[in-house]
Amino acid sequence: MDPVPPSALTFDGRPDSSRDSAELRRRKILSAVAEVGTLSTDKLALSFQVSRMTIHRDIQLLVEEGLVRKIHGGITIKASALAESSATYRAQHAEELKYNIGRKAASFIEPGQAIIIDDSTTAATLLPLLSAFRPLTVITNGLDVVQQLSTVRGLKVTCLGGDYVPAHKAFFGLLCEQAAQSLRANTLFMSTSTIHGAAAYHQDQAVVKVKRAMMDIVDQKILMVDSTKFSKTAVHKVADLTAFDHVLTDRNVNRETLRILRDSGVTIHVCE
């Protein structure tokens, strides 16, 4: 496992001591694991100069909030076939690639439209660009989307609500699905955790249900997926890629993969 990164240390370079509150220590643990993906319990205890039992209690609280996952000997924030990485980690992953995809996605927006932006960190790259398309209605299940756009003039923000999940910083569940089904929008901008073959997959069934509900209420569906999401495995199928009007990705996708997808009828754009 990787060593604890500098972000887990105090400004004078020394490990955190007992003077730090438990809450502050847990925030720093989360920040540290978000930076490197995986950390061991022993190294966390050493870096923060606390007992393994104290670190275990901190980890358990973070697990209960859905922010990290336990693995043998430590914790991780990385995705697996059964669990998606947390929003904290995803926001720091492949930032430049996502930015280029966001710029291309913005070209599909026109002033006066109603659009849906899901809770994904990839779709969130659209947020700084939306003021150029005012007036605009933005429908979302993502808390960060609501918080970032709520003070922007000319943007009407509609939150779908439902059960709040801290790991995703978003709302899911039956209420969220029903709220989506009562609306209609022009374009959906969404992402998913993995692309396998010619289909999109996700680890969480509740997330899949909300994404499908969003797909059912729009005229145009745009999938935003960076190259790191290709050829990976997840349990639940979201949809075939041909169900999307446009699939946006980056230049790092294998050329043979692009050829196969295009031959399969997928409209895929490489965003420089």
Last residue of a domain, one of 15, 44, 78: 78
Q: What percent of the chain has pLDDT over 90?
A: 57
Q: Are 115 and 188 in contact (CB under 8 A)?
A: yes
Evaluated on CA atoms 48, 79, 90, 99, the torsion sign reads positive
- From the number of C-beta atoms within 10 Å of its C-beta (0-12, 13-18, 19+), residue 125 rates as buried
Q: Mean of the pLDDT values across residues 171-184?
A: 97
pLDDT for 60: 87
Asked if 158 and 234 sit in the same domain, the reply is yes
Range of the domain at 132: 94-271
The least confident of 13-22, 58-67, 113-122, 262-271 is 13-22
One domain for residues 215 and 251: yes
Of the pLDDT bands very low, low, confident and very high (cuts 50, 70, 90), residue 234 is confident
pLDDT at 111 over 60: yes
89 within domain boundaries = no
The CATH number covering residue 63 comes to 1.10.10.10
Looking at residue 13, what is its pLDDT? 38
Judge whether 220 and 251 are in contact, CB under 8 Å: no
Residues 205-229: what's their mean pLDDT? Answer: 96
Q: Is the pLDDT assigned to residue 18 strictly greater than 80?
A: no
pTM, 2 dp: 0.70
Structural domain count, the chain: 2
From CA 117, how far away is CA 231, in angstroms rounded?
24
Q: Is 99 exposed, middle or buried (0-12, 13-18, 19+ CB in 10 A)?
A: middle
Q: How confident is the model at residue 78 (pLDDT cuts 50, 70, 90)?
A: low
- Co-location of 183 and 98 in the same domain: yes
Question: Residue 8: pLDDT band by 50, 70, 90 thresholds?
Answer: very low
Q: Are residues 63 and 150 in the same domain?
A: no
pLDDT score of 134: 95
What was the pLDDT predicted at 73? 83
What integer best gives the mean pLDDT of the chain? 85
Confidence of residue 45 (pLDDT cuts 50, 70, 90): confident
d(CA 4, CA 48): 10
**pLDDT at residue 19, rounded to an integer:** 44
Shared domain check, 262 and 217: yes
Type of residue found at 257: T
Once rounded to an integer, what is the mean pLDDT over residues 159-183?
94
